[in-house]
């Protein structure tokens, strides 16, 4: 029998006042929870689950073993801010990461920002609207997309990256290729967002480690060309993603990347059915047990269309906001979105509600 225990925070409360010892703070953020769902898998099969009150979880974790004790510590440990050159991005509240695709074929905004000046202006507008980071990509990774030669990718994105960085914007580079990472980081980018979690290019982990910059490791299954062809998992997807990301953290650390600079993304839509995506969103808080900040990219994804009469990409703003707030309600620190002003406004209202709840009456 191969048993593995997972801990998922649940029973969230508005405020901790009057609940000393009965609630815990999630990852140093603005959420408190009163219970943990302890889920046990035997190999690939879920065999048991139990709701454990917070006041009993430390003792329960000690009985379950070092793995559970580590997960409990990770759930309650604050996440240090991300250092993006001279910019500091705090992770004690949700932040917006703006999507800026300088591609002709991205699924939602392909072709809008191919011209360097238009891309830079769009990036500055996103930052002015409240995005903490602008994530620039030069290769579409939508389902069915073909790879782009690294030279073309560099030519597409470098002017926008250089202009935005020179203007003081915190820039992330969305790429799978080490040569593109190095060129963009040299032009002023300060974070790498790799949808392959440093598996596509054998030199990418070395490039990130040498730069000493934060990196986003995203779960995926297959390649963009094939990932949506009957995706399936041996174990429930939430736990499969947890295990896979745990292994990628270990690989990144072995390559010399500091754990404090690792961000995790569950990879909605990358080798997942609609049901898989919904399971991940509903169980997202479990991933805090890995001890790294979470970035969620649900903006305009096909799952929204699937749940709302197959609305086109440009009509998925309400669904995108619903998923963004669901992620915030489970402690996600970074929300990667197309619609920056609208998401920033939604989060400001969310933050106002949290501030009111956390102000003693």
Does one domain contain both 312 and 250? yes
Structural domain of 176? 82-357
How far is it, in rounded angstroms, from Cα 268 to Cα 275?
Answer: 11
Does one domain contain both 113 and 205? yes
Task: Return the pLDDT at 114.
Answer: 60
Does one domain contain both 71 and 146? no
Put residue 92 in one of left, alpha, beta given phi > 0 → left and psi -120 to 50 → alpha. alpha
How far is it, in rounded angstroms, from Cα 60 to Cα 69?
Answer: 9
- Cα dist. 10→31, 184, 238 in Å? 10, 40, 15
Task: Return the pLDDT at 110.
Answer: 47
Does one domain contain both 179 and 315? yes
Mean pLDDT (whole number) for 301-327:
96
Does one domain contain both 117 and 157? yes
Q: Is the pLDDT reported for residue 65 higher than 90?
A: yes
Does one domain contain both 141 and 211? yes
Task: Return the pLDDT at 282.
Answer: 98
Q: Is 301 one of the annotated active-site residues of the chain?
A: yes
Task: Return the pLDDT at 109.
Answer: 54
Residue with more model confidence, 2 or 274: 274
Using one digit for the tens of pLDDT, what is the confidence trace for 20-61?
999 999 999 999 999 999 999 999 999 999 999 999 999 999
Cβ–Cβ under 8 Å, residues 112 and 118: yes
* Two tokens, residue 155: 């030519």
Cβ–Cβ under 8 Å, residues 328 and 294: no
Does one domain contain both 28 and 128? no
Three-class secondary structure assignment of the chain: CCEEEEEEEEEEECCCCCCCCCCEECCCCCCEEEEEEEEEEECCEEEEEEEEEHHHHHHHHHHHCHHHHHHHHHHHCCCCCEEECCEEECCCCCEEEEEEECCCCCCCCCCCCCCHHHHHHHHHHHHHCCCCEEEEECCCCCCCCCCCCHHHHHHHHHHHHHHHHHCCCCEEEECCCHHHHHHHHHCCCCEEEECCCCCCCCCHHHHHHHHCCCEEEECCCCCCCCCCCCCCCCCCHHHHHHHHHHHHHHHHHHCCCCHHHEEEECCCCCCCCHHHHHHHHHCHHHHHHHCCCEEECCCCCHHHHHHCCCCCHHHCHHHHHHHHHHHHCCCCCEEEECCHHHHHHHHHHHHHHHHHHCCCC
Q: How many CA atoms lie within 13 A of 345 on its CB side?
A: 6
Does one domain contain both 97 and 201? yes
Mean pLDDT (whole number) for 60-85:
96
Using one digit for the tens of pLDDT, what is the confidence trace for 103-153?
875 545 544 656 778 899 999 999 999 999 999 999 988 777 788 999 999
Which is the catalytic residue, given 156, 248, 302, 336?
A: 336
Mean pLDDT (whole number) for 223-239:
89
Which of 76, 92, 107 is the last residue in one of the domains? Answer: 76
Percent over 90 (pLDDT), the chain? 89
Which is the catalytic residue, given 176, 301, 316, 354?
A: 301
Residue with more model confidence, 329 or 118: 329
Task: Return the pLDDT at 225.
Answer: 78
Which of 21, 48, 76 is the last residue in one of the domains? Answer: 76
Task: Return the pLDDT at 143.
Answer: 78
Does one domain contain both 186 and 242? yes
Find the CATH number of the domain harbouring 338.
3.20.20.20
Residue with more model confidence, 273 or 230: 273
Residue with more model confidence, 108 or 164: 164
Task: Return the pLDDT at 112.
Answer: 61
How far is it, in rounded angstroms, from Cα 132 to Cα 122?
Answer: 14
Q: Is 22 one of the annotated active-site residues of the chain?
A: no
User: Which has the closest alpha carbon to 336: 185, 126, 183?
Assistant: 126
Does one domain contain both 31 and 89? no
Percent over 70 (pLDDT), the chain? 97
* pTM, 2 dp: 0.95
Does one domain contain both 169 and 237? yes
Going by pLDDT thresholds of 50, 70 and 90, the confidence category of residue 267 is very high
**Domains: count for the chain:** 2
Does one domain contain both 161 and 208? yes
Which of 49, 76, 103 is the last residue in one of the domains? Answer: 76
Going by pLDDT thresholds of 50, 70 and 90, the confidence category of residue 201 is very high
Rounded to the nearest integer, the mean pLDDT of the chain is 94
């Amino acid at each position: 029998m191969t048993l593995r225990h997972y801990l998922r925070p649940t029973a969230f409360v508005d405020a901790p006042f009057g609940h000393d010892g009965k609630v815990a703070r999630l990852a140093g953020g603005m959420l408190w929870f009163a219970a943990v769902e302890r889920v046990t898998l035997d190999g690939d099969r879920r065999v048991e689950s139990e709701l454990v009150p917070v006041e009993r979880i430390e003792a329960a974790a000690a009985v379950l073993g070092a793995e559970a004790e580590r997960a409990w510590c990770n759930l309650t440990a604050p996440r240090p801010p991300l250092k993006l050159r001279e910019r500091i991005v705090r992770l004690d509240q949700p932040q917006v990461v703006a999507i800026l695709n300088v591609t002709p074929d991205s699924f939602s905004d392909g072709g809008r920002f191919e011209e360097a000046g238009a891309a830079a202006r769009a990036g500055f507008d996103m930052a002015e609207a409240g995005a903490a980071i602008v994530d620039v990509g030069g290769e579409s990774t939508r389902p069915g997309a073909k790879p782009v030669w690294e030279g073309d990718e560099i030519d597409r994105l470098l002017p926008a990256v250089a202009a935005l960085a020179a203007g003081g914007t915190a820039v992330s580079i969305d790429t799978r290729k080490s040569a593109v990472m190095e060129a963009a980081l040299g032009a002023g980018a300060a974070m790498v967002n790799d949808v392959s979690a440093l598996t596509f290019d054998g030199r990418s982990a070395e490039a990130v480690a040498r730069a000493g910059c934060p990196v986003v490791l995203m779960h995926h299954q297959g390649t963009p060309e094939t990932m949506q062809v009957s995706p399936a998992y041996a174990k429930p997807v939430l736990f499969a993603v947890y295990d896979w990301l745990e292994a990628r953290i270990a690989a990144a650390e072995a390559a010399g990347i500091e754990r404090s600079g690792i961000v995790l993304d569950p990879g909605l839509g990358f080798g997942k059915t609609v049901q898989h995506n919904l399971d991940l969103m509903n169980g997202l808080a479990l991933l805090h047990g890995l001890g790294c900040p979470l970035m969620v990219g649900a903006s305009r994804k096909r799952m929204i269309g699937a749940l709302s009469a197959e609305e086109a990409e440009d009509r998925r703003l309400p669904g995108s906001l619903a998923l963004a707030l669901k992620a915030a309600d489970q402690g996600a620190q970074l929300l990667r979105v197309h619609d920056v002003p609208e998401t920033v406004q939604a989060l400001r209202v969310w933050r106002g509600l949290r501030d009111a709840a956390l102000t003693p009456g």
